[in-house]
Amino acid sequence: MILYHKKFKRVFLVVSVIACLVFLRYRNDFRGILSVLEASVFKNPFADHQTKYFDIASLPSSERSQWLPDGRVNAAFVSLARNNDLRDMVQSVQRLERRFNHKYHYPWVFLNDEEFNEEFKSRINETASGPVEFGVIPKEHWQMPETVDRDKMHDNWEKLKNQNILYADSESYRHMCRFESGFFYRHPLVKKYEYYWRVEPSVDFWCDLDFDPFAYMKQNDKVYGFTITVSEYTETIATLWENTRNFLKLHPDTLHPNNSLNFISDDKGRTYNNCHFWSNFEIAKVDFWESDAYAKYFDHLDSSNGFFYERWGDAPVHSIAAALFTDRESIHFFNEIGYWHPSSGHCPLDEPTLAKCECSPYDSIDHNGWSCLNKYYDAFDIPYPANWHLYKGV
């Protein structure tokens, strides 16, 4: 046994010496192999794309409708946020990057009514895979018009409070709705893009996307894209439709001949059925809001001060405008984009799409009484999904 151990030690020593000599002789080759392995295993997954993709932010606004040299669309994600939204905003960016943008590196635009602090900028820059720009909203776009009767306004707010309406007496919420209705697209950081995708803090994206929604919009001449459609609280928009009808009487030429009035009205325009696209998610063409029809419409609404006397949201304003002033064929339902905004979500029904998602159709608002998706299917003559009946009323 002792002789065996001595023999083993001698063999081990010889093998070790040979191994050392081989390593010294070929160490440069080993280093090369290791560097290749390290690069393939630990490399930044976005590195190739960072060198490949064109910097959209550098494109002159006069060229915004062109396809980019790398095949992408001139588009960006646009977020309205404040410094104290940092944690929730990072969450939203992370989730959209993971589901989609890590493959495309579209830029991000963040707007605030005050300067973003360095912590916000740093964290967002670390999280986003594309270029990031931060902008401040002009004071005149975030202040109450002088024509607002404040006594009347506060009396109306009190009535909404008594009805337990969300944001009943919130002035900042009303500034946000007015800004998103009539000013965001005028900001220099936004107007240079052809399309935008609105992203809010605290949202989630449930499905992996294997296509580019911006490219889909451009290739198919789409103007407005949505993923959730619901009914608005009547109390918050008491005179919105009345003001809309008055506008159409003054400007009948703004009504598109192939409009989708039948989606937002059940009686050929006499009343509004409160259906709207939930604008906390929207993918849309910037120049639609710059159009003569929409500019006149917003100015007409704004002159009534309904954003402050009542609680007009940008969602019904955008939706009514899209239904009246665009071709119905230019509105698109992004069923493939599973989406969650606090309190409500959309999860696809069809199995091939659902296989790419982390959600259940039972998570969708699409099938309950608040949803207007059934009205959308009917108004646009779109067949219901084959398994729709399984979730109806959920």
What positions carry a catalytic annotation? 282
Taking only Cα atoms into account, the Rg of the chain, rounded to an integer number of angstroms, comes to: 27
By CB neighbour count within 10 A (0-12 exposed, 13-18 middle, 19+ buried), where does 194 fall?
Answer: buried
CA distance 276 to 263: 9
Beta bridge partners of 204: 340
* Dihedral angle, C-alpha 369, 372, 374, 380, nearest 10 °: 170
Residue 335 near residue 226, CB atoms below 8 Å: no
Beta strands in 2-118 (DSSP E): 75-80, 108-112
Single-letter amino acid code for the residue at 105: H
Nearest Cα neighbor of 363 from 343, 384, 347 is: 347
In terms of DSSP bridges, do strands 108-112 and 132-136 run parallel, antiparallel, or are they unpaired? Answer: parallel
> Hey, what amino acid is at 42?
F
Q: In this structure, what are the phi and psi dihedrals at residue 76, rounded to the nearest 5 degrees?
A: -155, 160
Asked if residue 282 lies in contact with residue 318, where contact means CB atoms within 8 angstroms, the answer is yes
